[in-house]
Amino acid sequence: MQSAREHVGKIIRLLRRHYPQARTALEFRSPLQILVATILAAQCTDERVNKITPALFKKYPTAADLARADRGELETEIRSAGFFRNKAKSLLGAAKKITEDYGGAVPWTMDELLTLPGVARKTANIVLSAGFGKAEGIAVDTHARRLSQRLGLSREKDPDKIERDLLGLVPRKDWLDFNFLLVEHGRAVCQARKPRCAGCFLRGLCPSDAAFLEGKNKK
């Protein structure tokens, strides 16, 4: 009988075959930039964030520069990302913490990243994987949450509990890319409202396939 880890292994191999260049769509050149971009990306598209960040990175090239930013100006600069007041507060708080406690360099451990204002495990995991090439967990964003449930990898709704389930199933060597693979598939095929089950290469491995197709045929 096939084990759960073997099942997940098959899913990962297919995802890697179809998305060999899977990585974050956020544009950045340093750990600080991916941190800023990831904070802005909450409840916002990566495409929108990538339109905001070039000017932001140029104006605030270091954590110290960002920590000294006028809050009102920063809010205006990131307004189109949504929730701009809370995001500005998080950016300023994180930049100040990095400047005062970490010598101006973004910390590179999970425990230290979690001390930064506005940084929870999802953000920390993305910064670690994309910015440092370190795998200390698996980022659970909206795509990872949706696909984890549809693929039967977790029944949980809380991101931290979903991550715990994934860490027990996904081999550590795949932690680094697993979120990016799910995001790619979530955008291309397993979309939120209209998953393209009929043409999905994971059909034979997905317990949600029959349910979606049955519902579609009843309409």
Mean pLDDT by 10 residues, the chain (219 residues): 85 97 94 98 95 98 98 98 98 98 97 97 96 95 96 96 97 95 96 93 88 49
Assigned fold of 1-219: Endonuclease III; domain 1 (1.10.340)
pTM of the predicted model, to two decimals? 0.88
pLDDT at 209: 78
- Domain map (residue ranges) of the chain: 1-219
> Residue 149 is which amino acid?
Q
128, exposed or middle or buried, with CB in 10 Å at 0-12, 13-18, 19+?
A: buried
> Residue 91 is which amino acid?
L
Q: What is the rounded distance in angstroms from the CA atom of residue 108 to the CA atom of residue 113? A: 7
**Rg of the Cα trace of the chain?**
19
pLDDT at 211: 57
What residues act catalytically? 122, 141
Measured from the Cβ of residue 126, the count of other Cβ atoms closer than 10 Å reads 23
pLDDT at 50: 98
